[in-house]
Amino acid sequence: MSNFLILMSGGTTPVINSTLAGILKTLRKKKIKVFSGSPGLEGFLRGQIKNLSNLSLAKIKKMGETPGSHFIGTSRLTKLNAIEVKKLKSILDKKNITNIINIGGNGTLKQSIYLASTMPEINFISCPKTVDNDLGDVNFKKMLFNPGFISCIEIWKFFLKMINIENIGASSHDKIIISQTFGRETGFICGSLRYWDKNKKLPMMLLLPEDNTDFSKILRTAKKILKEKGRLMIFMSEGFKVGNIKPTKDKSGQIMYGSSGNTNCQLLNNKFIKKGIQSRIFNPSILQRVFKFQKNRAYEKDKNIAQKIGETAVKTLLNKKKSLLVSLDQNHKIDLIQYKNCENFTRKMPNKFILKNKFDVSKSFLKYLDKVLK
């Protein structure tokens, strides 16, 4: 029987290892050799290869409970050229690998679709992974949400409580606290803060990339809230543009906000300071994807879904099916989508989710989160 290669690409999530654990647990029963690059496809091409075949059930269980990706690592690569594809084919042939499961977001899916078209003899399956929740169809029917998303917004529920406590106590001097969430081009995470304050009792503004506006409008609304409440919490997606962050890009061409010359939250903070309004920033960065709660309902749900996706990926390949993305449909059921139907599988928050020019989200978005978190 041919062997398996498991890869991770891009940033991690709190439950990415749960998908890996689901894969390994299922393959362990079949006594099939399993390999991984260290890290990811980049490590595999370098000959840095891990054999994951003989891991104990205890090790796999621990893996499934651990956020981040330190077991095999992730990589970020440009589209492989002809020479690299030839090298990849050679290594796969030597290891008798004909099955590849790639765990990742938009860039990873595109890479898999490309490689599947150039190497028809290899069986590819993709597993979704992105806290940004931007992988999927615009109607949220084929992909309700991405594994990792609900854990991330649960983390922000905790952060909101702590930030609110700080803002109350320090509002005599730090009038505004500006917090930056993940969200390269989308406001799903940032918008979710409203879910934890549905009655709008807290002094809050949400800056979403889909509703980007200039600082003058932000300033007017902020002054109005400060006059009424005496304090303000601003939450903004990392991709909300307020100036030149001097971007650093990874090998795939995506901006690495945590590695750039500045952050949008710092630039916004500087603008408020210049206007004589004292503010400070809170940027948890990678904590959003490695922070984990013990015995938390949302995390347990997220973890179980991620593991089920991994199990399904293996069973699909063993059933001789390939070139598919494992998805979670609108009914919370695991489904499969053919590569040809998800070549442009990238989404942003639709207009119906946003209250334009009001720095807030709509009831429609809250209903969507109700469905996600049910």
Q: Is the pLDDT of residue 1 over 70?
A: no
Q: Is the pLDDT of residue 373 over 70?
A: yes
Give the domain CATH number at 87. Answer: 3.40.50.450
Q: How many domains does the chain have?
A: 2
Same domain, 98 and 176: no
Same domain, 218 and 298: no
Mean pLDDT of 92-108: 95
Of the pLDDT bands very low, low, confident and very high (cuts 50, 70, 90), residue 252 is: confident
Question: What is the domain extent for residue 52?
Answer: 3-148+292-341
HSE on the CB side for 307, CA within 13 Å?
Answer: 20
Read off the pLDDT of residues 296-329 as tens digits, 9 standing for 90 and up: 888 899 999 999 999 999 999 999 999 999 999 9
Cα–Cα distance, 271 to 266 (Å, whole number): 9
High-pLDDT (> 90) share of the chain, %: 86
pLDDT at 90: 97
Same domain, 95 and 225: no
Q: Which of 184, 154, 149 is nearest to 76 (CA)?
A: 184
DSSP 228-292: HHS-EEEEEETT--SS-----B-TTS-B-GGGSSS-HHHHHHHHHHHTT--EEEE--TTHHHH--
CB 265, CB 218: distance < 8 Å: no
Read off the pLDDT of residues 127-150 as tens digits, 9 standing for 90 and up: 999 999 999 999 999 999 999 999
Same domain, 80 and 138: yes
- 3-state class (DSSP) for residue 327: strand
Dihedral, CA of residue 257, residue 259, residue 260 and residue 263, to nearest 10: 50
Residue 99 — left, alpha, or beta (φ > 0 → left; ψ -120 to 50 → alpha)? beta
- Alpha-helical (H) ranges within the chain are 16-30, 40-45, 57-64, 82-94, 106-118, 149-170, 188-191, 215-229, 264-274, 287-290, 297-318, 363-373
Same domain, 13 and 133: yes
Same domain, 230 and 121: no
Least confident range from 169-173, 203-207, 293-297, 353-357: namely: 293-297
Same domain, 282 and 187: yes
Enter the tokens of residue 337: 């989508």
Same domain, 308 and 277: no
Mean pLDDT of 77-105: 95
Give the domain CATH number at 165. Answer: 3.40.50.460
What phi and psi values does residue 102 have, to the nearest 5 degrees? -115, 120
Of the pLDDT bands very low, low, confident and very high (cuts 50, 70, 90), residue 290 is: confident
Of the pLDDT bands very low, low, confident and very high (cuts 50, 70, 90), residue 33 is: very high
Same domain, 201 and 279: yes
* pTM for this entry: 0.95
Same domain, 183 and 116: no
Taking all residues of the chain, what is their mean pLDDT, rounded to a whole number?
94
Q: Which of 38, 69, 68 is nearest to 52 (CA)?
A: 38
Read off the pLDDT of residues 34-71 as tens digits, 9 standing for 90 and up: 999 999 999 999 999 999 999 999 999 999 988 888 88
Same domain, 114 and 159: no
Same domain, 33 and 91: yes
